[in-house]
Amino acid sequence: MAKKIDQTQVRKVAKLSRLDLTEDEIREFTGQLSAILDYVEKMNELDTAGVEPLAHCLPVSNVLREDSAKESLGTEKVLANAPQRDDEFFKVPKILDDGSGA
C-alpha cells in the first residue's frame, strides 16, 4: 500500500510553493493527494510485462516538411494588414504601467 500523505507534508509543499492554505484546504488536499497515491498504487498492481511503452494510444506520427530556407515575405507584405504600424515595425498598445516595477 502506498504511503499516505499527511498534513505535515501538505504544509511543507505549500510552504515551498509559497501557497497560503487554510486549515480546511490542507485537510481537503491531504485527502485528495492520498486518493491519487492510492490510485497509482492500484495501477501498479497491473501486469505490464510485455506491454510496450507508448506516448499516445493512437498510431499517430508527426508530418514534418523538409526544413529549407525560403525567400522571406518582406516588410511591406508582412505589415500590409497591421492595424497600426510605426515605419517598418508593428505598433502595439502599452501593457505595463509605470508602477509595474518591470
Average pLDDT over residues 43-56: 87
d(CA 87, CA 75): 10
Q: What is the pLDDT of residues 5-35, one digit of tens each?
A: 999 999 999 999 999 999 999 999 999 999 9
The residue ranking higher by pLDDT, 91 or 100, is: 91
Could you tell me the CA-to-CA distances from 81 to 72, 75, 97 in Å, in that order?
A: 17, 11, 28
Q: Residue 99 — pLDDT band, cuts 50, 70, 90? A: low
Domains and CATH numbers, the chain: 7-44 (1.10.20)
d(CA 26, CA 98): 38
Q: What percent of the chain has pLDDT over 70?
A: 92
What is the per-residue pLDDT for 100?
A: 60
Q: How many Å separate Cα 94 from the centre of its chain?
A: 27
- Within 10 angstroms of residue 31's Cβ, the number of other Cβ atoms is 13
